[in-house]
Amino acid sequence: MDVGILIIGAGVAGSSTAWHLADLRIRDVVVIERESLPGMHASSQGSNILRQFIDDLTLARVAFKGGGFLLTPPFHWGKIVDPVGSLILFPMHSKKGVLPSFNACTSMGLEASLITKKDAIAKVPILEDAEFDEAIWTSTDGVIDNQRLLWSYINDAKTAGIRFKMGEEVIDIKVLEGGFLVSTTKDTYRAKKVVNAGGAWAGEIGKMVGRDIGLVSYKRHLYNTAVMHGVDPSWPVVWDIANGYYFRYDSGGLAISPCDEERATPGIPAISVSARQMLAQKLSNYCPRLANISIYSEGAGLTVLAPDRRFVLGRDNIVNGFYWAAALGWYGISCSSEVGKMVARDIAGKMDVPLEFNVARFG
């Protein structure tokens, strides 16, 4: 099959790129996905959290723009974010390091303020004995409906004429004069341009065209508690950036993570007993009122990180016609719209992706 642009991966990165290409009236596009359904890994197993304060200001700018889109999506998409807000907890000895990032984020327009521990506890009483001194309150953060977001990208792109094909694993890519020959488990594509939005497999896809840039797959665990007395659906997301855990309301209890990072092979990640032990230790030390929670279910999601933990986006500097929408780390859902916009506009020749995200930084 001949195609102008072949996008490998139908998670939020690939689907957002397709949607933005359609918005630019570029529709000779096929999106292929190895799984039977789109978004079965990071796009559906992530935190579901819109968090716009990030201490890496390069990423924070993308999160702020992406967050603005998610809070005001196209009308027919419905509500994508429940804007319950967020509390970013930190100790006094970290304040000197936090303040420059906080000031830069608020200068961008982020609706955030520093609040006392007392004020944070008033919002989330279960933090009464937690180990922190102050918090950043961001009123426009919240909980993302990942599936609604993903399928909104896909359905609008399909309506515009972009084709999605499921259950096609890429097994080989040959670089040709003026394009690529991509072989999958079901078909062969002759594409003028290829977008690597392969999620956990992005590193493997890159290697197929001779580009090994050191991407590594990691897994992170998320636990759901049983129904808990006193938990309130209006509670903001809570994220302790010093001690490394977060939680949010979910189905009468909490969804909670120890923010672990363990190297993993792309695929369905195995549950690690050590992550649950890490969570128990962190809660006992830093949020004792959650120390005896009852875990109802557990899961793990995959992501990919670049060596400098920043995104890898846009045209490759060595392989002509090869583009990246990869290594979104733990911020893929929040930043997906802005990521897709940058990659699509780069493909269309309407912008150059910022150097901080360009693959050329790895040689």
What residues does each domain of the chain span?
Answer: 2-44+147-215+307-362, 49-144+216-305
β-bridge partners, 300: 221
Other CB atoms within a 10 A radius of the CB of residue 281 amount to 12
Nearest CA to 324 out of 191, 149, 178, 193 is that of: 193
Kindly tell me if the per-residue pLDDT of 263 is higher than 60: yes
Distance in angstroms (rounded) separating the CA atoms of residues 314 and 323: 5
Look at residue 43 in the predicted model and tell me its pLDDT.
Answer: 55
Q: Which CATH number fits domain 49-144+216-305: 3.30.70.20, 3.30.9.10, 3.40.50.150, 3.40.50.300?
A: 3.30.9.10
What pTM did the predictor assign? 0.96
- pLDDT band at residue 40 using 50, 70 and 90 as cut-offs: confident
Above pLDDT 90, what percent of the chain?
Answer: 96
Instruction: Please write the tens of the pLDDT for every residue from 72-108.
Output: 999 999 999 999 999 999 999 999 999 999 999 999 9
Q: What backbone phi and psi angles, to 5 degrees, belong to 214?
A: 85, 25
Average pLDDT over the chain, rounded to an integer: 96
For domain 2-44+147-215+307-362, say whether CATH 3.40.50.970 is its number. Answer: no
Averaged over 19-40, what is the pLDDT? 95
Residue 98's Cβ-side half-sphere holds a number of Cα atoms within 13 Å equal to: 19
Q: What is the pLDDT of residues 277-328, one digit of tens each?
A: 999 999 999 999 999 999 999 999 999 999 999 999 999 999 999 999 999 9
pLDDT band of residue 47 (cuts 50, 70, 90) is confident
Residue pair 252/228 in contact (Cβ under 8 Å)? The answer is yes
* pLDDT reported for residue 70: 98
Neighbours of 76 (CB within 10 A): 8
Split at pLDDT 50, 70, 90, the class of 363 is confident
Whether 2-44+147-215+307-362 and 49-144+216-305 share one fold: the answer is no
Residue type, 207: K
| DSSP designation for 344 | H
How high is the pLDDT of residue 30?
99
The CA distance from 231 to 255, in Å, is 11
One-character DSSP codes across 12-57:
HHHHHHHHHHHHTT---EEEEESSSSTT-SHHHHS--EE----SSH
Q: Looking at residues 324-342, what average pLDDT do you find?
A: 96
Give me the pLDDT at residue 44, please: 53
